[in-house]
Amino acid sequence: MSRLSVAVVVTRLQAGAGGVALRGAQALDPLRYEVTIIAGDSGGGADSDGSGDSLAVRAAAGGLGVISVPELVSPVSPGNDRRALRRLTVLLARGGYDVVHTHSAKAGALGRLAAERAGTPRVVHTFHGFPFHEFQSRARRAAYVGIERYLGRRTDVFLAVGGAVAAEAIRRGIAVPERVRVINPAIEQSAGPAGPAVRAAARRRLGVPIGCKVVGTVGRSGTGRCARRCRHARPAGDCRAVSCVPGTVMTCRSCYPGSTSSPWPAGTRACRARSPRPWLSACRWWPPR
């Protein structure tokens, strides 16, 4: 039986959407699917977290094809976007893929347009989030929603990394319920369960006293992410902590795939708010961009 040929298109093959795309591709049965990952250049750009090279190596080691399209960049760039669309169209037409699976906003837009031009029979898109939010101008937000609706009519199946993301796509008229599936991203479990000793050691490392409530979040460190935008940030070793409610500490763990030097990445920061106001108004570490 011949294998189905699948092209996975992602803006950056690095932690975040790139990691989800890679793990999803690796989960496909190699006896049934032949997978090629097409990604923008993730090695040295300003928005790179340094994980692109290691993910590309992992993909190749796992038997996946990897094609780099340097013109495929995250910011809106008319010149690069036109070149990327032409290159993707040629690659998809030449590869004769049975399925094109796109991830993230930019690769989702250009990849789906290229798949339509190349005559790809089936198109799948994974929503990791959306390029629009309530802090944009009304005109810009409407334009982005309109683009997503246009692309949605050219998509056979939608996947979403969470129920809230799927609900937003349906609410905005981007996708219809019967064509959306929620698939939680695959994660690698490399650490054992945390016991009292491990928790106590983590508190000492963060400088969090016993009895203080802790709210934590885990994510890739990048521009505009985690505690980088807290107004009262100050260096404090190699962890991040935000304390904006009396008696409460918020921690932000940044993930650097491939790093084995320390369980906490070097160069991260910690901050303690001086304001007694609630953390959402006192710490601007999570403003939508």
Q: Does 105 share its domain with 176? A: yes
Does the CA dihedral 160-165-166-171 come out positive or negative? negative
CATH number at residue 14: 3.40.50.2000
Query: Is 70:41 a contact under the CB 8 Å cutoff?
Result: yes
Strands (E), 122-231: 122-127, 157-160, 180-182, 213-220
Q: Does 104 share its domain with 207? A: no
pLDDT digit string (tens) for the chain, length 289 residues: 789 999 999 998 886 888 899 999 999 999 999 999 999 975 554 444 455 567 888 898 889 999 999 999 988 899 999 999 999 999 999 999 999 999 989 999 999 999 999 999 999 999 998 988 888 899 999 999 999 999 999 999 999 999 999 999 999 999 999 999 998 766 666 656 778 888 888 888 877 777 777 776 665 555 444 444 443 433 333 334 444 445 555 555 544 343 333 333 333 333 333 333 333 333 333 333 3
Residue 258 belongs to domain spanning: 196-282
Angstrom distance (rounded) from CA 248 to CA 264 = 21
Q: Give a yes or no: residue 73 inside a domain.
A: yes
Structure tokens at 29: 């049965």
Q: Give a yes or no: residue 289 inside a domain.
A: no
Q: Which of 133, 159, 182 is the last residue of a domain?
A: 182
Q: Does 102 share its domain with 43? A: yes
Structure tokens at 287: 């403003």
Angstrom distance (rounded) from CA 271 to CA 280 = 14
Tell me, rounded to whole angstroms, the distance of Cα 86 from its chain centroid.
Answer: 24
Q: Give a yes or no: residue 122 inside a domain.
A: yes
Q: Which of 182, 215, 236 is the last residue of a domain?
A: 182
Q: Does 213 share its domain with 167? A: no
User: Could you count the other beta carbons within 10 Å of the beta carbon of residue 139?
Assistant: 8
Count up the domains in the chain and report the number: 2
The 3-state DSSP class for residue 244 equals: strand
Q: Does 141 share its domain with 22? A: yes
Q: Give a yes or no: residue 189 inside a domain.
A: no
